[in-house]
Structure formats: C-alpha cells, structure tokens
C-alpha cells in the first residue's frame, strides 16, 4: 500500500511541519527528478532545512507524505532510507581516523573489510584526497574536512544526497573551489542531490532546479535562468541578485510589451508578468547588471531602449566590475553593475543608463 507510481524520484506531497503554533513548512508539494541537483534557496527561517530534515528522518511531518522512488518513507527508520547527509559543521568524529570516518556508514551495512577498504579508497580518490586515511580530522584544513564529509556521504552509494549549508564555514575562495567540486562530483555520480543554501550564487551556479522559499512556502521553482530572468514576484527578484524596483502605472499593451508610466512620468516598455489593465499600479524590475552606462554627453537617441539620465553618487570598485549608484533627476537612485572596460566612472559624472525592454519586467504590487 505504500508504493506510488510516479516519475518523481523524490516527492513531497502536502507536507507540513508545525512546532506548536509556529508553522515552519506549509502544505507543500515538490517533485525532484532522478539524477538532478535541486537547491532549496531562501533566508533563515524559510523552512528549507526543516524540509531537508523531514526527508532525512530527523523531523517527523505534521501532515503529508514523503516518497523516494515511489515508496512512502514517513515511517521508514533513518538508517534504512539510504541517504547521504552532509551538515554545515561536517560532523566528523575528531578521535577517529579519516578512514574510520568515511567507513562509518559502511560498518552499519555490515560491509566486509575488503569491500570497506575498496570503497573508502575509491571515495577518497573521488574527492581528490587519496592516502589520508590514517590521519585525524584535525590534521586537515577546513576545505579538506569538507571533502572528507563528502566522501563519507557518497561511499554508501546513497539514493539521495542531502547537503545542508555545506559551504558556509569556508572562506570565499574555498567556497568557489568546493562549489565546482560538488557540481562535478554530482554530475559524475548522477546521484539525486538536494542542496540547502541561503547563497544565491551557489544556487544559480550549481543547480538543475532552484526552489525559492519564504515563510514555509515555495515562491518560485525552475531552472536558474528562469527564476533569475523571469522572477514572479518582488521577493524572488530581490533575493536573487541586485534589482531596481520602480513604481509605475500601466498605460497600454504594445505587442509583446507593456507600456508603463514611471513615477517621474517617464514612459517605458517592459515584459508583463501576468495580465494587466490600464491604470493598474505595478513595479518595473531591472537587474543592475542589465543597465548599460555611458557619459551623458555621448548619448545618441535610441528608440529601441529604455533610457535614464542621472549623476553618479557612489561607486564600489570590485576588480572586474564596478557597482554604481546613480541618482536620477527625480531623486530616485538606481543601481547599475558594469564590467570594467576603461577607467570607471567617478562620483559626480553625468551619465545615461539604457536597457532593452526585454530586460525590464512588470510585477504586481
């Protein structure tokens, strides 16, 4: 009775988790395809870790069902779910050798010493740390310890790999290296992976699918390109990168675009996210990276672009790119991020910013 025919490798059906009066996850449905890397992305308290812990068997759902390979696992003990789990703090045993840390799950599966040795050595090779089996965790760097935690998770050949903020304790350079390591290893193994993070760069760079969460609800799910370029609401657009939000009123539909009047009476064209009528109050969203800057004196009129004029009020030089804050005539401040092609613009410079309508999006307010 606990078999369910379904294409989803992992499935949450009407899942809910309550802690007294607090609802951490609210009647959620989510399907995860086999072999994919799916990221649960959102701020602290959005329910992403709770969802992962329910799948792992560390928390019991208040309502709903969880399936792996079509089998309902709500009542399946943790050790029989065949899951590889990596935590934020690595959770390595400090008194055990690296070999014994990696072999921990195999011992509970009654693997022979020969099989254990073979699988541990293979796992250590896969995470590019061969020959460290006799060392203790304290003899390894943070990045190396994270690789050991990864080896321990994959050595059991899990059906699903669960990763809860696994990179948050590493510095930025190590995080970048480990992002690539995890991405490459997941693709090589083809293991279905659920990755929890609050870092949008991790989510966008690694995932087959991103699930954006807030207050226990899924706000949007899709490929990284879909959720970034076609955000469905203010929260998603704001959480996934640097965006400008400008109040506007709908004027009319023009082909594939919507003509809107901005708060300074400037007309603009944008892609509509939904159906709108004349007079509707909306907000236009423009990603900071989509704005092209130039000196005002060099501006040539262009009917194909939405154009803004202003003055550089602040900037942050970041090596390969510069983050600018431009004050428009109506005192609205817009954020633009451009690659460095020449000397960066300076405070006080009068500039124009242009953007194609396809990179502007209208959302309901």
What H or E segment, with its residue span, contains residue 246?
A: strand 243-254
Residue 333 has pLDDT above 80, yes or no: yes
Architecture of the domain delimited by 10-234 = 3-Layer(aba) Sandwich (3.40)
Q: How far apart are CA 344 and CA 346, in angstroms?
A: 6
User: Any idea what DSSP says for residue 341?
Assistant: S
Q: Would you place residue 3 in the very low, low, confident or very high pLDDT band (cuts 50, 70, 90)?
A: very low
Q: What is the pLDDT of residue 5?
A: 43
Q: Would you place residue 6 in the very low, low, confident or very high pLDDT band (cuts 50, 70, 90)?
A: low
Domain ranges of the chain: 10-234, 246-364
Q: What is the pLDDT of residue 342?
A: 72
Q: How far apart are CA 225 and CA 103, in angstroms?
A: 39
What are the φ and ψ backbone dihedral angles of 137, each rounded to 5 degrees?
-55, -35
Q: Would you place residue 175 in the very low, low, confident or very high pLDDT band (cuts 50, 70, 90)?
A: confident
Q: How far apart are CA 141 and CA 137, in angstroms?
A: 8
**Inter-residue contact 269 to 286 (CB < 8 Å):** no
Residue 110 has pLDDT above 60, yes or no: yes
Q: Average the pLDDT over 148-163 and give the result.
A: 95
161: its two tokens: 């790999």
Residues 38-79: pLDDT tens digits?
A: 999 999 999 999 999 999 999 999 999 999 999 999 999 998
Q: Average the pLDDT over 260-272 and give the result.
A: 91
Q: Would you place residue 176 in the very low, low, confident or very high pLDDT band (cuts 50, 70, 90)?
A: confident
Residues 202-239: pLDDT tens digits?
A: 999 999 999 999 999 999 999 999 999 999 999 999 99
Report the predicted TM-score, pTM, of the whole model to 2 decimal places.
0.90
Residue 253 has pLDDT above 50, yes or no: yes
**Inter-residue contact 257 to 271 (CB < 8 Å):** yes
The fold of the 246-364 domain, in CATH, is OB fold (Dihydrolipoamide Acetyltransferase, E2P) (2.40.50)
């Amino acid at each position: 009775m606990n078999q369910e025919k379904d294409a989803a490798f992992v499935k949450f059906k009407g899942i809910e988790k309550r802690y007294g009066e607090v609802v951490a996850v609210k009647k959620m449905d989510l399907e995860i395809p086999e072999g994919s890397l799916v990221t649960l992305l959102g701020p602290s308290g959005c329910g992403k870790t709770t969802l992962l812990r329910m799948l792992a068997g560390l928390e019991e759902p208040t309502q709903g069902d969880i399936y792996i390979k079509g089998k309902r696992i709500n009542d399946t003990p943790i050790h029989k779910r065949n899951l590889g789990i990596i935590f934020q703090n690595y959770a390595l045993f400090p008194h055990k050798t690296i070999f014994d840390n990696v072999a921990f799950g195999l011992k509970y599966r009654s693997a022979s010493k020969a099989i254990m040795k073979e699988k541990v050595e293979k796992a250590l090779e896969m995470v590019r740390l061969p020959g460290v089996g006799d060392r203790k965790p304290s003899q390894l760097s943070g990045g190396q310890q994270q690789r050991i935690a990864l080896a321990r998770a994959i050595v059991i050949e899990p059906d699903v790999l669960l990763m809860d903020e696994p990179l948050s304790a590493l510095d930025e350079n190590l995080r970048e290296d480990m992002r690539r390591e995890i991405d490459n290893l997941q693709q090589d193994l083809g293991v279905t992976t659920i990755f929890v993070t609050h870092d949008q760069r991790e989510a966008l760079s690694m995932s087959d699918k991103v699930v954006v969460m807030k207050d226990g609800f899924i706000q949007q799910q899709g490929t990284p390109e879909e959720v970034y370029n076609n955000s469905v609401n203010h929260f998603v657009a704001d959480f996934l990168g640097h965006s400008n939000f400008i109040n506007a009123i709908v004027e009319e539909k023009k082909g594939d675009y919507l003509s809107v009047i901005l708060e300074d009476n400037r007309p603009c064209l944008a892609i509509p996210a939904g159906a709108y009528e004349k007079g509707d109050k909306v907000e236009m969203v423009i990603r900071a990276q989509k704005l092209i800057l130039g000196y005002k004196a060099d501006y040539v009129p262009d009917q194909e672009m939405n154009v803004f004029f202003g003055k550089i009020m602040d900037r942050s030089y970041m090596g390969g790119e510069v983050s600018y804050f431009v004050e428009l005539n109506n005192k609205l401040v817009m954020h633009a991020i451009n690659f460095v092609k020449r000397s960066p613009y300076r405070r006080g410079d009068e500039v124009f910013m242009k953007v194609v309508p396809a990179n502007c999006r209208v959302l309901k307010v």
